[in-house]
Amino acid sequence: MPKQTQELIVVTGASTGMGASAARELARRGFHVLAGVRRDRDADTIRSPGIEPVILDITEPEQVEALAARVAGDPRALHALVNNAGIQVNAPVEALPMAQWRRVFEVNLFGHIAVTQALLPALLRSKGRVINISSIGGKAAMATYGAYAGAKFALEAVSDSLRREVASLGVQVVVVEPGGIRTEMASRGVATANHLAAQMTPEQTERYGSLVQANNTLMAAGTASGVTADAAARVIAKAVTSRKPRTRYTVGRDAALIIPLIRMLSDRTLDRVLAANLRRYHPKETTA
């Protein structure tokens, strides 16, 4: 029997998209996957051989504690934690309500830290690994991406710090940085952006209305041309199973090209590149 059949993997945010695909790919490779979902109907959808759904909202301490107890009570070793749960909320810095800022950071940063803290004792015992799903937005913050990119930048920093803390203890920390992925997350992000835009003041709409529309169009285009969730899942599985994983993996051609470019360009040059790219998506002015 393969060694993997005796090991657990936790995947958060496994209801749809990359999380669901990663859970299926890892189960196919012989692991027993605890797939975190928020609703019973999502549990029914993801449940299959090798995949055990667990109700998990990573911002709810009681559910995080229940997950840790489930892992602690299993005789199998915890091989990896895949911190994948996330939401996308896009709006100009001026116009995004503080409650939304806090929600984005609770889900995209603090929730991951809470799950990591809860499962680190098990990972230390098994000399396992933490896989944090970041984003190309963790390297470049486009206009209206302040909250989302801010949380992803912070997740990158936390990952670096954690890696340097636990490497000598046998735990590896890996960051996965996807670009455009064909999942439901982008369509939900566009809907959220439109909802938030409708709440802007007339002055804010005058300042940022066309910018929001342009970013929505760009987001939809980037998603349509992106890789599939299954392709992303194979990269995640590589990070989980490689004997000596890299500290970072990109997903998709756009991430592989843009992330190295970011390191080379000055801030002003990058500003011009991003603005020129976005300009193509601004709504055309109509005349009577």
Please check whether residue 286 lies inside any domain of the structure: no
Catalytic residue annotation: 148
Q: What is the pLDDT of residue 5?
A: 56
Please check whether residue 20 lies inside any domain of the structure: yes
Rounded Cα distance between 282 and 205, Å, is: 14
Q: What is the pLDDT of residue 37?
A: 98
Please check whether residue 215 lies inside any domain of the structure: yes
pLDDT, tens only, 182-213: 777 777 878 888 889 899 999 999 999 999 99
How many domains in the chain? Answer: 1
Please check whether residue 77 lies inside any domain of the structure: yes
Spans of the chain, pLDDT less than 50: 1, 286-288
The pTM of this model reads 0.92
Q: Are 46 and 277 in contact (CB under 8 A)?
A: no
Please check whether residue 85 lies inside any domain of the structure: yes
Q: What is the CATH number of the domain that holds 87?
A: 3.40.50.720
Rounded Cα distance between 227 and 136, Å, is: 14
Please check whether residue 284 lies inside any domain of the structure: no
Helix (H, G, I), strand (E, B) or coil at 238: helix
Cα 64 from chain centroid? Answer: 18
pLDDT, tens only, 109-124: 999 999 999 999 999 9
Please check whether residue 288 lies inside any domain of the structure: no
Residue 250 sits in which domain range? Answer: 3-279
Q: Are 131 and 80 in contact (CB under 8 A)?
A: yes
Rounded Cα distance between 282 and 33, Å, is: 43
Rounded Cα distance between 213 and 67, Å, is: 40
Rounded Cα distance between 188 and 87, Å, is: 9
Distances (CA, A) of 194 to 92, 135, 191, 217: 12, 22, 5, 11
Please check whether residue 260 lies inside any domain of the structure: yes
